[in-house]
């Protein structure tokens, strides 16, 4: 289905606004700015984009609000079938860190002193550290949860 056929199926009063949103798809403009320019609500714009996407007339627009808000990009969840998880027990994952060689040597010495593998020792060490900073961890988690609310504030402006 092309845009012309799609528009013909719509009520006459909706055709013009759908056409304008379709034409604005390739332009780099925020949803809030486009909604203001077209004199429609943000939720109406999102519904129109959804309808156009469902009809395979446009591609989904990337969410760039985190970058424009000065936030770090959201991290992707690790695919549970990923090779990074191969051979690990539940609730564990692999990750790479870069640390000073002197700190690594100290970690190895202390792990040996406690008769533990390095990864076991490091996991225990981090658990103790997070227990000491529990209040800070809770604050950070709260801020992360509230960042989705920040998106709404940015899009509305």
- Look up the CATH number of the domain holding residue 44: 1.10.10
Within this chain, do residues 125 and 51 fall inside the same structural domain, yes or no?
A: no
Within this chain, do residues 56 and 23 fall inside the same structural domain, yes or no?
A: yes
As a whole number, mean pLDDT of residues 44-54 equals 83
Within this chain, do residues 27 and 81 fall inside the same structural domain, yes or no?
A: no
**Which among 130, 153, 135 is positioned nearest to 71, based on CA atoms?**
153
Reported pTM: 0.41
Of 61, 81, 101, the position where a domain reaches its end is 61
pLDDT band with cut points at 50, 70 and 90 for residue 29: confident
> In the predicted model, is pLDDT for residue 14 greater than 70?
yes
pLDDT band with cut points at 50, 70 and 90 for residue 124: very high
**Which among 136, 145, 97, 138 is positioned nearest to 118, based on CA atoms?**
97
pLDDT band with cut points at 50, 70 and 90 for residue 154: very low
User: What does the DSSP 8-state code read for residue 78?
Assistant: P
**Which among 24, 30, 21, 27 is positioned nearest to 68, based on CA atoms?**
30
Q: Tell me the pLDDT of the chain averaged across its residues.
A: 78
Question: What's the chain's length in residues?
Answer: 157
Within this chain, do residues 121 and 74 fall inside the same structural domain, yes or no?
A: yes
Within this chain, do residues 56 and 95 fall inside the same structural domain, yes or no?
A: no
**Most confident region among 6-10, 82-86, 111-115 by mean pLDDT:** 111-115
> Which residues form the domain of 51?
3-61
Within this chain, do residues 56 and 21 fall inside the same structural domain, yes or no?
A: yes
φ and ψ of 46, to 5 deg: -65, -40
Within this chain, do residues 17 and 55 fall inside the same structural domain, yes or no?
A: yes
């Amino acid at each position: 289905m092309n845009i012309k056929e799609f528009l013909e199926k719509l009520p006459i009063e909706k055709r013009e606004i759908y056409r304008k949103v379709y034409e604005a798809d390739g332009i780099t403009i925020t949803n809030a700015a486009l909604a203001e320019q077209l004199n429609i609500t943000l939720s109406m714009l999102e519904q129109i984009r959804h309808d156009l996407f469902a009809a395979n007339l446009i591609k989904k627009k990337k969410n760039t609000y985190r970058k424009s808000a000065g936030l770090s990009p959201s991290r992707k969840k690790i695919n549970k079938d990923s090779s990074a998880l191969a051979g690990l027990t539940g609730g564990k994952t692999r990750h790479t860190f870069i640390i000073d060689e002197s700190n690594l040597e100290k970690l190895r010495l202390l792990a040996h002193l406690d008769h533990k593998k390095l990864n076991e020792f490091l996991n225990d060490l981090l658990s103790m550290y997070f227990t000491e900073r529990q209040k800070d961890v809770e604050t950070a988690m709260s801020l992360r949860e509230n960042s989705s609310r920040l998106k709404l504030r940015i899009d509305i402006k």
